[in-house]
A and B are shown apart, each in its own frame.
Chain A
Amino acid sequence: MFTDRKHRRGLTAWLVPMLLGVSAVSVAADDAVSSMPDSWFEIPKTASEVGITSFSQSPMLDDAGLPPVNERLPDDPPVIEPLNNIGVFGGRAQITLGDSWQFFNWESALTISADLRNFLPNLAESWEVSPDGRITTIKLRSGLKWSDGHPLTSDDFIFTFNHIWLDTDINPVTSMLVIGGRIEKVDNLTFRYVFENPNPMFENLIAQYGSFMVDPKHFFVKYHPSFADREFVDAKVDEIGVPTWMALLDALRSAIIDEGLDMPTLRSYKIVQRTPTMVRFDRNPYYHKVDPQGQQLPYIDGIDAEDILDNAEVVTAKASTGQLDFAAFTLRTQDIPLLKLGERNGEIKVHIWRRLHSSDVAIQPNYNYADAKYRALLWDVRFRKALSLAINRPEMNEIIYFSRGVPRQVTVHPTSSYFEPHYATAHTEFDPDQARALFAEIGLKDIDGDGLVEYPDGSPLTITLEFLDFETPKGITMELVASYWREVGLDLRLKLVDRALQSARAQAGEMQMTLWHADRVTDILFPLVPDWWAPRSTGWDRGMWNDWARYYQTDGELGENPPEIIRQMQQWTDDMRYETDINKRIAIGKKLLQANADNLWTIGTIGLAPHPVVVSKRLRNVLPKGIWGWDNRWTLAYHPSTWYFDED
């Protein structure tokens, strides 16, 4: 299966009409759609195809005592076309650690096309999914090397699959993503994932999440008890002071212990130093990509990533005053005027990308909450519709998003093959009178005259929504939602929680309501993990239906038997997952999305919102208008290794 090229202009096709449609204001700012190189939508050409015969390296590596550059590169390296210019080597980038996943991406066997629908080979030279969807065969490029010069082979992938993903100490419950799977070695560069059931979208997982499917075996065998001497591992565990050898592997991986600094990587940069406040990266001399002139990527020699714990205020302050070369992850839509103010001093450039999040806030009622009366109320679709109708989305859009977002429910992204416009607009109109009427119909009425409704039996009705205010403007959005709901008589209380508490309470299903932003909405992730639309697994970001999810996961051993409609949706997610025919798969996915439009399992507010991406005046080749989010790993399709510094 190779790339389907008919979709490659998909992005432009939806972006233009959407921007024109949003409002007159946004047209002025967003008129120009960036033109990305065609090659970003195609299988990257290799050096021999382009006709490159000699390669060059950064002057930084000239006297490093390394083998010559053409020996470090793979036999026939892939050529990546920069956005605007061929870059020059040099410089150290100042960023924050929070942006390190965006400034240089992880490397997987496959990668994502800039159209957000298709996959392209990366470490792989080619790949193939068998017609029945059970076998995914991957053939690696020959001559790829880890950052220590050790060759990358099938064994590295096999090690990770068998000894990390399937290890019962590390993962006591086998992940849904790899369940029923095994890995087979064909030769040193070829291997295949074989599944009991059809798993045609395993390639989606490899492209989006595949960096977690390959580890340097030659490094980890020193610490993994399946290979290493158990006594040595135990001694090491004691020495480091971690509870188990699994924790030791984590510590190595995150380089919080010195031994982890030596862990080889495939990424464009490797860690050289870690202090409590700073992580320093240098270029990976064995990185496998080159530019059209045969220069080994990346262009920038090193990165100093400051660890400021994602403190949004500090990042905003630093970004707006030009102290960072790249900042985006922690920045917020409402910071844009401030950042633009900084732009006027000429130190930075503020690019406005669009978040792919279907909605910046997906309000999740907990259908499995302990209180039966509350549960019954949530289960009434009229109640959920009333909640949605009570939200004044145009006003919210004006207040928070400068009218440049799109009022939306939680559904898939417009680039998706599964998208129908009415999924996004279902019950998004502002109609407080109808919301009140629906409340009355359910029997909720204001008995004690305080302007807030009570349960039909007269007992007080208050809903507490606990949430983590991070990434998208969740706090301010919910303050507005609370006041809209109050206007129709519903008493909503907000409680901010921290990450640990959010995780614990979401997994335990103890929250009456919670929220997160609705990503995983493109063709890359929606059909693979449609968690917003059916109870399939529990997670720290959702707390809607844990008991039903557990029932599904354990085949009825734990949890609670879900109602018929929920079982139907779980069935659809299975069908979608096993379906090898793309058109049938889309048809099933649409049923699931239609069910959500009818039932509003979660309630959305504003989506596809502007996201600020700040780059320093010296940083070049950054896409001015991209799509921002987890599905495409933020910048993965836009090739950050081609960014460079123009010091003039």
Chain B
Amino acid sequence: MSDVTINPAPAIAADLGTDTLQEISPRQLAWIRFKRHRLAMVSAGFLIAMYLIATFCEFISPYNTDTRNVKAINAPPMSIHFFDREGTFHLRPFVYGYHMEVNPDTWMREYSENTEEMYPIYFFETGESYEMWSLFKAKTHLFTTREGYIHVFGTDQLGRDMFTRVFYGARISMSIGVVGVMLTLFFGVLIGGIAGYMGGIVDRGVQRIIEVLLSLPTLPFWMALSAALPVEWSSLMVYFGITIILSLFGWPGLARQVRGKFLALREEDFVMAARLLGAGRLRVIFKHMMPSFTSHIITTATLAVPGMILGETALSFLGIGLRPPVVSWGVLMQQAQNYQVIVMTPWLMIPGLFVVLTVIAFNLLGDGLRDAADPYNTGGNRD
């Protein structure tokens, strides 16, 4: 790269449709660079969609998480049809009901499409009542059937709709990522900032604590802490407990980076100038120093979210994190952690697919953000 000099100005100017470079703020510059990162854009789109779904999962899901369909135990995903068996086209998509038979020899529940039972799919249709965000009761679902049932992702061993459960699980698992990272950020920036700004004995003390925390093996420690959560705690309290446990190991790394930045910035002229002008300590930190590395923090935070999601999933998978009736991806995968699922009901592993997609999306997004926020990035390849 050193022997190839690229002037980013014309390209950026072209993107903006203007030739006056002075109008571009650093933020706009970053946005332009980010837009070029196709994978990051796609990931961002996917994540926005997932968070919207997670936010409105009551509305998007056709059922409630614990609604059982006894006619469909371990039933495979349904396919959505536009053409019926005579080949007639229907504008309104429909599904066929299950025809279930327990084979007396194999004890297997054998499902096939029952073409006698056609269930058209209606959108914005009244279905099971639910409590939106635990605030108000509603009945409208994005899609459902008027009669019969629809299981786009199949059902689990109790006949519960997997589609519903995957997206309710998204709410818990994806929000635990964000809430956990918020906590991580708060502690990381606060403690790292104090250490970096104050230096001396405070810094040394914080450094030693961080070293101790970072030297602990994460998973066993998580396990010990979550096993210590009182049995009587409600699901909500366990949720916050797990979030705090997860962020407990997130902040030291971030605090170190923040401290490093602070140590470097502390000596900069603009900080000195602010101080000489009589700005208070907090004002110097938050007004003058923070903005110069927010991009860095955002990137770090984005890359930390998948760690949190995986942490929750791992704990719940091991049966020591969240527990039923709470539905999270980890809880769902715990139910799928048997040999029988792989052989006979692979659709119970769909939550795993969503974990993988989400984690990849976050990583790509973080990648894109880092490239975008890097002022030395010229828009070309980084190598």
Report whether A25 and B102 are in contact in the complex, using a CB–CB cutoff of 8 Å.
yes
A496 to B232, CA, bound (A): 13
Identify which of A25, A312, A462, A464 contacts B338 (C-beta below 8 A).
A312
Residue in A closest to B106 when the chains form the complex, CB atoms: A340
Report whether B232 and A341 are in contact in the complex, using a CB–CB cutoff of 8 Å.
no
Does any Cβ of B come within 8 Å of A466's Cβ?
A: yes
Report whether A316 and B106 are in contact in the complex, using a CB–CB cutoff of 8 Å.
no
Report whether B338 and A399 are in contact in the complex, using a CB–CB cutoff of 8 Å.
no
Residue in B closest to A399 when the chains form the complex, CB atoms: B73
**In chain B, residues 195-251, which have Cβ atoms closer than 8 Å to a Cβ of chain A?**
231-232, 234-235
Does any Cβ of B come within 8 Å of A335's Cβ?
A: yes
Does any Cβ of B come within 8 Å of A55's Cβ?
A: no
The residues of A that contact B104 with a CB separation of less than 8 Å are 25, 28-29
The residues of B that contact A479 with a CB separation of less than 8 Å are 158, 324
The residues of B that contact A402 with a CB separation of less than 8 Å are 102, 107
**In chain B, residues 324-366, which have Cβ atoms closer than 8 Å to a Cβ of chain A?**
324-325, 337-340, 343-344
Report whether A316 and B157 are in contact in the complex, using a CB–CB cutoff of 8 Å.
no
Does any Cβ of B come within 8 Å of A261's Cβ?
A: no
**In chain A, residues 491-524, which have Cβ atoms closer than 8 Å to a Cβ of chain B?**
493-496
Identify which of A341, A462, A483 contacts B106 (C-beta below 8 A).
A341
Report whether B323 and A496 are in contact in the complex, using a CB–CB cutoff of 8 Å.
yes
Q: Which residue, B323, B324, B339, has most C-beta atoms of chain A within 10 A?
A: B339
The residues of B that contact A483 with a CB separation of less than 8 Å are 66, 68, 158, 325
A335 to B339, CA, bound (A): 9
Instruction: A317-B339, A494-B324 given; name 15 further pairs at CB < 8 Å.
Output: A316-B338, A337-B107, A337-B340, A337-B344, A338-B340, A338-B343, A341-B108, A395-B70, A398-B70, A403-B102, A462-B232, A464-B232, A483-B325, A486-B66, A493-B235
A446 to B201, CA, bound (A): 57
Does any Cβ of A come within 8 Å of B77's Cβ?
A: no
Residue in A closest to B108 when the chains form the complex, CB atoms: A337
Contact bitstring B145-187, A, C-beta under 8 A = 1, else 0: 0000000000001110000000000000000000000000000
A60 to B238, CA, bound (A): 60
Residue in B closest to A312 when the chains form the complex, CB atoms: B338
- Interface residues of chain B, those whose CB is within 8 Å of chain A, are 66, 68, 70, 73, 102, 104-109, 157-159, 231-232, 234-235, 319, 323-325, 337-340, 343-344
- Interface residues of chain A, those whose CB is within 8 Å of chain B, are 25, 28-29, 312-313, 316-317, 320, 334-338, 340-341, 344, 395, 398-399, 402-403, 462, 464, 466, 476, 479-480, 482-483, 486, 493-496
Residue in B closest to A395 when the chains form the complex, CB atoms: B70
A480 to B73, CA, bound (A): 13
Q: What is the CB-to-nearest-CB distance from B226 to chain A, in angstroms, rounded to a whole number?
A: 12
The residues of A that contact B73 with a CB separation of less than 8 Å are 398-399
Identify which of B108, B157, B344 contacts A399 (C-beta below 8 A).
B157
A563 to B321, CA, bound (A): 40
A402 to B74, CA, bound (A): 12
A29 to B103, CA, bound (A): 10
Give 28 CB contacts A-B under 8 Å: A29-B107, A312-B338, A313-B339, A316-B339, A317-B339, A334-B340, A337-B106, A337-B109, A337-B344, A338-B339, A338-B343, A338-B344, A340-B106, A398-B70, A399-B68, A399-B73, A399-B159, A403-B102, A479-B158, A480-B158, A482-B324, A482-B325, A483-B66, A483-B158, A493-B232, A494-B323, A494-B324, A495-B323
Residue in B closest to A28 when the chains form the complex, CB atoms: B104
The residues of A that contact B70 with a CB separation of less than 8 Å are 395, 398-399
The residues of B that contact A334 with a CB separation of less than 8 Å are 157, 340
Identify which of A312, A341, A466, A476 contacts B343 (C-beta below 8 A).
A341
Q: What is the CB-to-nearest-CB distance from A467 to chain B, in angstroms, rounded to a whole number?
A: 12
Closest 6 CB pairs of A and B: A337-B108, A340-B106, A317-B339, A28-B104, A336-B107, A338-B340
Q: What is the CB-to-nearest-CB distance from A60 to chain B, in angstroms, rounded to a whole number?
A: 35
The residues of B that contact A28 with a CB separation of less than 8 Å are 104
Given contacts A316-B339, A338-B340, contact A495 B231 (CB under 8 A): yes
Total A-B pairs, Cβ < 8 A: 79
Q: What is the CB-to-nearest-CB distance from B220 to chain A, in angstroms, rounded to a whole number?
A: 15
Residue in B closest to A491 when the chains form the complex, CB atoms: B234
A387 to B70, CA, bound (A): 21
The residues of B that contact A482 with a CB separation of less than 8 Å are 324-325
Residue in B closest to A314 when the chains form the complex, CB atoms: B339
A399 to B44, CA, bound (A): 41
A28 to B157, CA, bound (A): 24
The residues of A that contact B102 with a CB separation of less than 8 Å are 25, 402-403
Q: What is the CB-to-nearest-CB distance from B160 to chain A, in angstroms, rounded to a whole number?
A: 9
Given contacts A341-B106, A482-B324, contact A476 B157 (CB under 8 A): yes
A462 to B325, CA, bound (A): 13
A300 to B131, CA, bound (A): 63
Report whether A464 and B231 are in contact in the complex, using a CB–CB cutoff of 8 Å.
yes
Residue in B closest to A398 when the chains form the complex, CB atoms: B70
Residue in A closest to B235 when the chains form the complex, CB atoms: A493
A495 to B231, CA, bound (A): 7
The residues of A that contact B68 with a CB separation of less than 8 Å are 395, 399, 483
Report whether B158 and A340 are in contact in the complex, using a CB–CB cutoff of 8 Å.
no
Q: What is the CB-to-nearest-CB distance from B224 to chain A, in angstroms, rounded to a whole number?
A: 13
Report whether A496 and B319 are in contact in the complex, using a CB–CB cutoff of 8 Å.
yes
Q: What is the CB-to-nearest-CB distance from A177 to chain B, in angstroms, rounded to a whole number?
A: 33
Report whether A316 and B66 are in contact in the complex, using a CB–CB cutoff of 8 Å.
no
The residues of A that contact B158 with a CB separation of less than 8 Å are 399, 476, 479-480, 483
Q: Which residue, B107, B108, B109, B319, has most C-beta atoms of chain A within 10 A?
A: B107
Q: Which residue, A316, A335, A336, A402, has most C-beta atoms of chain B within 10 A?
A: A402
Q: What is the CB-to-nearest-CB distance from B110 to chain A, in angstroms, rounded to a whole number?
A: 10
A466 to B106, CA, bound (A): 34
The residues of A that contact B337 with a CB separation of less than 8 Å are 313
A93 to B56, CA, bound (A): 57
Report whether B108 and A340 are in contact in the complex, using a CB–CB cutoff of 8 Å.
yes
The residues of B that contact A493 with a CB separation of less than 8 Å are 232, 234-235, 323
Identify which of A25, A316, A486 contacts B340 (C-beta below 8 A).
A316
Residue in A closest to B73 when the chains form the complex, CB atoms: A399
Identify which of A29, A341, A476, A480 contacts B344 (C-beta below 8 A).
A341
Q: Which residue, A25, A337, A495, has most C-beta atoms of chain B within 10 A?
A: A337
The residues of A that contact B105 with a CB separation of less than 8 Å are 29, 340
The residues of B that contact A496 with a CB separation of less than 8 Å are 319, 323
A555 to B107, CA, bound (A): 52
Report whether B107 and A340 are in contact in the complex, using a CB–CB cutoff of 8 Å.
yes
The residues of A that contact B319 with a CB separation of less than 8 Å are 496
A480 to B68, CA, bound (A): 10
A530 to B66, CA, bound (A): 37
A344 to B325, CA, bound (A): 37
A336 to B108, CA, bound (A): 8
Q: What is the CB-to-nearest-CB distance from B167 to chain A, in angstroms, rounded to a whole number?
A: 19
A478 to B61, CA, bound (A): 25
The residues of B that contact A344 with a CB separation of less than 8 Å are 106
A486 to B65, CA, bound (A): 13
The residues of A that contact B325 with a CB separation of less than 8 Å are 482-483, 486
A28 to B103, CA, bound (A): 11
Identify which of B106, B232, B340 contacts A335 (C-beta below 8 A).
B340
